[in-house]
Every structure is written in structure tokens, then in C-alpha cells.
Chain A
Amino acid sequence: MNGIDEKTLWNNFQRGDYDALSILYGRYVHKLFSYGIRIYGDDQLVKDCIQEVFIHLIEKGKKLSITDFNSMYLFKCLRNKLFEELRTKSNRSDILRKIGSDELKYDENIEQITVQSEEEIARRRILDAAMASLSNYQREAIFLKYTQNFSYDMIADILGVDIASARTLIYRSLKKIKESAINHILIFWIFHFGKQSKV
């Protein structure tokens, strides 16, 4: 059953086979989780929302108008669910915590890979700092494009904008990363030389 393509699984689910939906869940749970914490840093809320998305699908069942399954639909559902939750909660401290946690997330990456050279550490730091300079919306777009490999039309669909806007969004984000990286390189070298001079 694991080899079955997603469209078949979806159709089976719509015919009342809930095991098919469990398989889809298994395939997408980590991707959805990654996306969720990219939009909003609270693990628990993201988990709850993922569960809500699947329960919503079961509840709607046959009434869902999607006959042609696309994984993008799940991302869209999760995004809507998260924003809905955030709107209803509208908890300022949560939002502040989320903003604060973002930079940590990039820093953590360093520990996850084996870094060979000091030069590489420096490069990673600069890149992380450049990424951190993006707005949440821009980072979400970058995530969809470079982490989830969605095409522009899918990104547009998830974000609820037209394709041209999705393209512009990615373009501007990349440009911003490039510009802020240049700034960070300067800062890095000042910092680097400063450290060296102390030694």
C-alpha cells in the first residue's frame, strides 16, 4: 500500500478508506511540521494544527471538492489553520516569542552538520544572518521554494497570491539575502580581525 501514488490514495480516502489518509499523513507529517514551525515557532501549536487539518479532512470527507490531489493542498490547509489559530489566540507574548526564536533556529543549524573549516563556519554564519534579515513572509516563500521544492504556481496557490507575485517575492528575497550577506561579510571580517588582534 505504501507504493500507491498519492492521487489514488486520495481517491480511496474520499471513498471512505481512512487508512489511505493515514498513509498520506505518514508521507507528509514531517514536511508539514517543518513548514508549520517555519511559519510559527511553537511546536505544540503546529502539532495540534496538523492533527486538526487531518480531522478536518475526515470530517468533510466526500464533500471536499478536491478530486485531483496535490500535496500543496495540505500545506495550504495547515497554513490557514495556523493563521486561524493565531488570529483567535492573538497572543502577543506568543508572537514575540516566535520572533525571538527564529534566529535561534538558524543558529542551531551549525551544530547539525559537520563543519570542516573556520571559513565554512564563517560562511554559514553570514548566510544565517542574511536569512534572518528577511521578513517572515519572505522566509516562508524561501522555505516553500528551496526546502519544499514547490513550483511558483503552487507557492502562489499556498500563499493566496498570483504567480507573478510569487516570483517577485522569491526574487526580492534572494536579492535581500545577497545584499545583507555583503554587509555581514564586512561585519564578519571586522569582527574576525578584531578577535585576531586580541589574541
Chain B
Amino acid sequence: MKKEKEIDFVNLLQDEEFIRLVKDTLDSADQYYILNEKYPADKELLVNAVEFIKVNMLEQKRMPENDVIEILQNIKAYSEAKKKRDFRKSVVLVFSKIAAVLLVFICCSFLFYKYLRKDPLKDFAEQKTKVQDEAVLILSDGSTHKINEYNSNIEYSKNGGEIVVRNKRSKDEKFVNVKDSKEPVINQIIVPYGHRHNITLSDGTQVVLNSGSKLVFPAEFSGKTRGVYLIGEGYFDVSRDENKPFIVKTDEINIKVLGTRFNVSAYADENVTSAVLVEGSVSVYHANKIIENTPLTKLVPGQGCFYTSTTSESVVRSVDVADYISWKDGLFRFKDQPLVNVIQRVCKYYNRNISIEGDKLPSTLISGKLVLTDNITSTMNYLSKTLEARYEVTSDGNYIIKEQ
């Protein structure tokens, strides 16, 4: 006990020791004397406290035995039902787990098929990505053939087996594609900066490849479609075949046509991929879309589709087609274009850095034609003459245009 407080009914019954002692001595005839020894209190008080404990102990009732059994049976019946339900649930769970795993597997396989399995053309293109100084033709057997001139015609025979390279200043060359299996024979043409080449594919389609471009194509179009893969810029004059649509694939968009003339620009170092239609009609699709049925847009002649890869947005607008295709005839055609834009095109064509110095010079408007030669020096001479400016070549091969 805390203080030597007076023993009373309340604090006796709050004393656990007292309660235990009462319970231990319930059957003892000397209960009162035992308690009194430890708790020297009035007899009436002790007896009342004992009585209180006894009364409360009697509050412990028993549920009638048949009710106890009835509830027990109900509990057991419920347990059995629950066990059965759990078993069924676990069976369903196991099955749904298996189903989920299968579903995930199927989805993964599908996505793998769709995305990870690369287009054989694209795959081929990535094997040799470097654009070299000389134009090369890579045949199915991996053999590389240099094309000596900077502007030649490469013609494929109807079955794609034979290739003739028609040079302007030297003898024609002939190559043969080795067809060793059922696999489609895939060829590749890499056009370096400052070059431009014409290719006639086995279906009669003519492609002009611009400077710094690469075209991957099957020597013979054996499938349901005629697919080619382009990095860089090309002008296509597709021979008509209603049953075999021609598809130009790029990293960002695919252009599907039946027979028409159009220009595609898909340089890897530029954000914008464009398709400009000269004649006929083309459908532009998103590359790498699971559902490829819905075209991004359909173009009518004189329209261009400009797809920005960074924002995944495409814009369709009317353009002056000649601005986009004049390069195929060996010249750039400009109409009221600031010099910076002109220089940008020239830079791309020759793959050189050209900077402009001066305040007014960059915004000077240029109109007219710029003939593209294989020699940047002649182009620079021509440009500076027109601009009444001069240019310098730095030690690392960069050009600077300055006011006179």
C-alpha cells in the first residue's frame, strides 16, 4: 500500500494481494483470521470485502451445455464450408496466375515481334552506318563496290540479279547479285557528302539519292509490298503497281504509295523528317506503331508532311515543290531565302561547316539557282561572288563568309 492509509472497502478491493489472498483462502475456516493478520481492519469491513469478491465470482455463469454444443457444431460446419471455399479460391487463383503469366508472355512476345524484331532492311542498314568519302554499293554477299564518279546511274535488272553502273566519264561496270538462299537479296547504296546518284530498282522505280544518304532495298521485290529503307534524302519516281504498294521506311515515318513522284528527307541529324509530294498520292504513317492501318495523313500534290521527332507532331502544309526537289537536278533553287538557310543546305550537301560573319549578311535574301558541283570551292566562289563578299578557309577546313 502506498501510504499507511486507513484500510477501507475501496482500497482493499484495489489491492491485488488482498484479492489473491481472499481467493486462496475461500475454503478455509480461518479465512477471517488469516486476512486480519495482514489487514488489521474492522471485521465487518473485511467480511464485506470478501463477500463482494464472492458475489462477483458467482457472476461467472455457464452457458447451457446443449447451446455450447450447438454453437460448436455451427462453428465446425462453417469451418468446413470455408475450407472448401478457400480450396476453390486457391484453385481459381492458381489458374488465374497461370493465365496472367501466359497473357504477359503473349503480350511480351507480341511486343518483341513488333518492336524488337527489326525490319530486315533497317537491320541491314545499321550494319554499315558510316557514310564514307566514296559512294559504295553493298551487295547481298557483303561485297562492297566503290563507285568512282559522284553522279552516276545504277540500274538493276528486272530480277535484280544484275547491276549496271553507268558512269559518265569512264566505262560502265557490271555486278552480279549472288542468290544463295530463299532469303531476300538485300542491297545497299551509300552516298557520301557531295555526291548524288540515280538508282533504277528492279521494279523500274527511280530513286535519286541526295548527298549523305543511304538506301537499303531488296534486289528483287518478292513480298506483298515493295519496301525500302532510307536514311538521308531521296527523290522517288515509283513505277505503278496496284498490287504491290511501295513503302519508303524511315526512322520516324513510313510513306506508302502505289505509283507517284515524291521527295523524302530523313537525315539522322535533323529533327524533321519530311515527305513532299509532286504527283499522285501518298499516305504517311507513323513508323513503329502497333496499328499501322490508320495513316497519319494523306498528301495531295504540292503538299508536304513535316514530322518532328522531338515532339512527335506532324504538320501538313502546301509548299513550293521545286524548293524541295531541285537538288536532284544538281541545283538548289531558292526564292527570297535568307543566306543562313542557303548556307545550311550547302553545309549539308558538302558536310562542311560554313559560318557567316557580319550583321546584315546572314539575313540577306537570296533568290535563284545554285549549281551543285562535287567541288565545294567552286560553289563557295560562286556564292561569294553573288553576295559581293569573300570567304576564308580555316586550318581545320571550315569556311567563313565575310563582308568585303
Contacts and interface: CB of A to CB of B under 8 A. Distances in A.
Given A18-B83, A143-B59, A47 B75 contact: no
A47 B251 CA distance: 75
Interface string A58-89: 11010000000000000000000000000000
B1 interface: no
Report the 10 A-B pairs with minimum CB-CB distance, sorted nearest first.
A18-B79, A146-B56, A33-B63, A147-B59, A34-B61, A178-B9, A174-B10, A51-B71, A54-B75, A30-B62
Chain B contact patch, size range:
20 to 34
A113 interface: yes
Contacts of A18: 75-76, 79, 82-83
A174 B63 contact: no
A105 B75 CA distance: 29
B156 to A, nearest CB: 72
A51 B79 CA distance: 12
Nearest to A139: B59
Contacts of A100: none
B51 A124 contact: yes
9 contacts: A22-B75, A25-B75, A47-B63, A51-B71, A58-B75, A142-B56, A147-B59, A171-B10, A177-B9
Interface in A155-199: 170-171, 174-175, 177-178, 181
A22 B73 CA distance: 9
A116 interface: no
A123 B59 contact: no
Contacts of B76: 18, 22
A21 interface: yes
Contact of B75 (A51, A175, A178): A51
Contacts of A113: 54, 58
Given A29-B63, A33-B63, A171-B14, A146 B57 contact: yes
Contacts of A61: 82
B78 A55 contact: yes
B26 to A, nearest CB: 12
Given A26-B72, A33-B61, A58-B78, A178 B8 contact: yes
Contacts of A124: 51, 55
Contact of A123 (B47, B61, B62): B47
Given A123-B51, A174-B14, A58 B56 contact: no
Contacts of B47: 123
A131 B55 contact: yes
B62 A170 contact: no
Contact of B71 (A37, A50, A181): A50
Interface in A126-155: 127-128, 131, 142-143, 146-147
A146 B79 contact: no
A123 B89 CA distance: 61
Given A25-B72, A30-B63, A47-B71, 6 more contacts: A26-B68, A58-B75, A109-B58, A174-B13, A177-B9, A181-B9
Given A30-B60, A174-B9, A174-B10, A128 B71 contact: no
Given A18-B83, A59-B82, A177-B9, A127 B51 contact: yes
B55 A177 contact: no
Nearest to B60: A34
B133 to A, nearest CB: 73
Interface of A: 16, 18, 21-22, 25-26, 29-31, 33-34, 37-38, 47, 50-51, 54-55, 58-59, 61, 106, 109, 112-113, 123-124, 127-128, 131, 142-143, 146-147, 170-171, 174-175, 177-178, 181
A21 B63 CA distance: 18
A181 B48 contact: yes
B48 A127 contact: yes
Interface string B1-30: 000000011100110000100000000000
Nearest to A38: B59
B137 to A, nearest CB: 71
A29 B61 CA distance: 10
Contacts of B53: 146
A11 to B, nearest CB: 17
Contact of B79 (A21, A29, A50): A21
| Interface-central residue, A38, A47, A61, by most chain B CB under 10 Å | A47
A139 B80 CA distance: 39
A33 B60 CA distance: 9
A34 B14 contact: no
Contacts of A51: 71, 74-75
B67 interface: yes
A47 B72 CA distance: 11
Contacts of B72: 22, 25-26
Nearest to A178: B9
B242 to A, nearest CB: 66
